[in-house]
Amino acid sequence: MSSVTFENVTKRFGEIAAVDALNLEVHDHEFLVLLGPSGCGKSTALRMIAGLDEPSEGDIRIGARVVNDVDPKDRDIAMVFQSYALYPHMTVRKNIEFPLDARKQPAAERAELVSGAAESLGLTDYLDRKPAQLSGGQRQRVALARAIVRRPSVFLMDEPLSNLDAKLRVQTRVELVELQRDLATTLIYVTHDQIEAMTMGDRIAIMRDGRLQQVGPPQDVYDNPANRFVAEFIGTPPMNTFAATAEAGRLLVGESVLQLAGHLRASVPDGPIIAGVRPEHFELADGAHATADSLSATAVLVESLGHERHIHCRLDSSDVVIARAAASEVCPAVGAPLRLIVDPQRIHAFNGDTGASYALA
Amino acid sequence: MRSRDASTPRTPSRRSKRFRETSLAYVMLAPSLVIFAIFVFYPFIKNFTFPFYQTSTAGGFGAFANESKPKWVGWEQWGAVLGSRDFWHSVWVTVQFVGLTVPLGIALGLLLAVIAHQKLAGITFYRTIFSSTVASSAAVASTIFFSLVGTQTGLWKLQINGHGILDDKTWALPAIAVVSIWQSLGLSFIVMSSGLQAIPDDLLEAARVDGAGASRRFLRVTLPLLSPTVFFAFVVGSISAFKTFAEIDLLNPIGKETGGTSLLAYQVKRLAFDSDSRTGQAAVFAVGLFAIVLMLTLIQMRLERRVHYAR
């Protein structure tokens, strides 16, 4: 069993709680992504699993064992650092061998494991080079090889792709997912990049200011964000949020009116709220065609990405939203009046003060 | 290069601007150049001429000249000094002194730096204490030491073989080495601390996660990465130790007779200034010292690349 559990874990640095009352269970063999902006506490949480930081309160378990006071070397974990943390004075071979050497494994066994790990990551030709003689991608592979070489039960990765160029990042993303599947171990992966989180994780855990915001499979988090922060953090471009007034199962946005779907009608109280719609859930229509369930708007900017367009529209409540449209659709002229049609099922409603989603209320 | 001249003609105004800038640079440099010329370059070159002349008890030389003229002796004096027991004894004593002070100074500086590198409460106080000897000169260190162990007036009046430690032929050199180590410890600590701080934390954290205990982390990660710093401290410390003079001058009341503490730099001063002004001989000692230090510097330049790790 190599599940990892946070039980009410708090980590304070002086007065500041970097991680605040975290409860989270990472299942055995799961790929969990800890996602959040810088300073949200995700790296601190990872370092606590590694044993590099001690929790101020609460327990961390690896499997059934509480590891709060267990030395990093006795936790059966391996970690890949953002900087890769390769030993610059050692060859690639010595770097990969280091964890085995530190555990005093016999030389013959070590050599076999090192060549196995090097081969699986395409490093065989580089074993006698020093890290400085390698490219960024190769260094990253050495760091991975050093982590997998002794088959730990939990892998920890702290933004391992952030130093790679965009193309290599996409390629390595796929390889990491495959690697985790092949090794069949638990992997906890820290990133601030929501695309990495969406594409790699079995589940993602989103943090902000030391607090866990939401945990769930990527699509689930995307479709049903627990609060406005998650809604705006996940997705490119992020979910549009705009001021609206709820009144008897309808939303008033300036002069426009949107119907709320059944599941929200009961939970959204009358009064001011924050409404949310993802850019791809706006359907553009000519401004002359007044329809129900649509917002009247004016196009203010059109960004073309080749395969699609992002149309920035000002609502008559003066909020600006982005609508995503296929490149094949007719492109609206800047300044032209539009209507943005929304399926009531696609509307999100958040508490204006707490940001919490009414869908979960 | 006619074509380049044709494509980028130097206009008179550009040339005069260049001339003005160059002149200004020399004007700015002039004060330090003059000081260097008078106190470093001239004496340095002049020193190579001294060994070709012999001065007697009656006659000084150069800046210390009196009526009697120095006598040209050619290479004779070089041969006499370099072949003398005194010179090689002095080299041997100096090498012993360097061998005592430099490795111990570095090891102690490293030990203190490792202690001060721990994240402990009140460590800043200790850091200040550890680096404080930087603020004391060799003269101050010698005076403090003398007031502690001096034969007549010292607080402890440290005795060995029935006399004061500084009067003992065997123990005077190690005793003075202690003063020298103490005095240079602050600098050694600061250099080692900066070396330790330059080692990224995540390398040591990676080693912890990889299963290395404290001693393995130190021996396999910290020490190799610190080797450029240790090497630097070794070379600079050796050069400085080879030139040790003040401690000997202040502390060895007997060493100058017995030769137990006759370091090269001290011998230069003794021959040139004490009693009979043997400037020519002193100059050969000085050239010998220069040759040793030059050799060390060349070795450093050759080895430096081998101990540096590209990140």
> In the beta sheet, which residues pair with residue A78?
A155
Taking an 8 Å cut-off on Cβ atoms, the answer to whether B209 and A146 are in contact is no
Letter for the amino acid at A85? A
Local structure of B200: helix, strand or coil: coil
Name the residue of chain B whose CA is nearest to A158's CA.
Answer: B202
The pLDDT value recorded for residue B2 is: 45
- The reply to whether A52 touches chain B by the CB within 8 Å rule is yes
Please indicate whether, in this complex, the C-beta atoms of A85 and B310 are within 8 angstroms of each other. Answer: no
What token pair was written down for A105? 């494994």
pLDDT value of position B10: 58
CA distance B119 to chain A (A): 13
**Residues of A whose CB is below 8 A from B210:** 73, 78, 98-99, 102, 146
**Domain spans of chain B, in order of start:** 79-307
Q: How far apart are CA B223 and CA A334, in angstroms?
A: 65
The top-level CATH class assigned to B79-307 is mainly alpha
Cross-chain CB nearest to A88 (options B202, B207, B311): B311
A86 to chain B: closest CA residue: B203
Q: What is the pLDDT of residues A171-227, one digit of tens each?
A: 889 989 998 988 889 999 999 999 999 999 999 999 999 999 999 999 999 999 999
pLDDT in tens, A326-337: 988 888 889 888
CB contact A144 to B (< 8 Å): no
Please report which confidence band the pLDDT of residue B1 belongs to, taking 50, 70 and 90 as the band edges: very low
- Rounded distance between C-alpha atoms, residue A75 and residue A54, angstroms: 13
pLDDT, average across residues B243-248? 84
Given CB atoms, is A271 within the 8 Å cutoff of chain B? Answer: no
Least reliable range by pLDDT among A98-102, B53-57, B74-78: B53-57
196-235 in chain A: CB under 8 A from chain B: none
| pLDDT at site B205 | 94
d(CA B93, CA B106): 20
pLDDT bin (cut points 50, 70, 90) of residue B68 is low
Q: Regarding the domain delimited by A4-229, which CATH topology (the fold level of the hierarchy) does it fall under?
A: Rossmann fold (3.40.50)
pLDDT above 90 (res B53): no
The pLDDT, as a whole number, for residue B258 is 58
B102 closest CA partner among B218, B181, B169: B181
Fold of the domain spanning A235-360 = OB fold (Dihydrolipoamide Acetyltransferase, E2P) (2.40.50)
Pairing relation of β-strands A308-315 and A294-304? antiparallel
Q: Which of B205, B216, B310 sits opposite A102 (nearest CB)?
A: B216
Specify the pLDDT at position A30: 95
**CA-closest candidate to residue B83, choices B274, B281, B289, B265:** B281
Chain A hits for B225, CB-CB cut-off 8 Å, are 88-89
**Domain spans of chain A, in order of start:** 4-229, 235-360
Q: Name which of B206, B213, B225 is nearest A85 (Cβ-Cβ).
A: B206
Chain B contact for A146 (CB, 8 A cutoff): yes
- Which of the four pLDDT bands, split at 50, 70 and 90, describes residue B63? very low
Cβ(A174)–Cβ(A167) below 8 Å = no
Coil, strand or helix: which one is A51? coil
Instruction: Characterize the bridge pairing of strands A320-326 and A57-62.
Output: unpaired
b/e burial code for range B266-294 (CB count within 10 A of at least 16 → b): bbbbbbbeeeebbbbbbbbbbbbbeebbe
Task: Answer with the residue of higher pLDDT: B170 or B208.
Answer: B208
Between these two residues, B306 and B233, which has the higher pLDDT value? Answer: B233
| Distance of alpha carbon B76 from alpha carbon B97, whole angstroms | 30
Q: What is the pLDDT, as a whole number, of residue A1?
A: 61
* pLDDT given for residue A321 in this prediction: 94
In what side-by-side order are the strands of the sheet with A57-62? A16-26, A4-13, A57-62, A65-66
- What pLDDT score does B297 carry? 87
CB A33 within 8 A of CB A180: no
Reported as a single tens digit per residue, the pLDDT across B149-162 is 776 777 777 777 77
Count of beta carbons in the 10 Å neighbourhood of residue A123: 23
pLDDT beneath 70: ranges in chain A:
1, 288-290, 361
Q: pLDDT tens, B184-200? A: 999 999 999 999 999 99
Task: Mean pLDDT check: name the lowest of A123-127, A205-209, B76-80, B143-147.
Answer: B143-147
Taking alpha carbons only, the member of B282, B263, B249 closest to residue B92 is B263
Residue type, A31: F
pLDDT of residue A165: 87
Element (H, E) at A295: strand A294-304
Confidence band for B246, pLDDT divided at 50, 70 and 90: confident
> Cα dist. B161→A212, B156, B273 in Å?
75, 15, 32
Residues B91-102 have a mean pLDDT of 93
pLDDT at B308 over 70: no
pLDDT of residue B311: 52
Percent of chain B with pLDDT over 70: 86
Higher pLDDT among residues B71 and A115, named by residue: A115
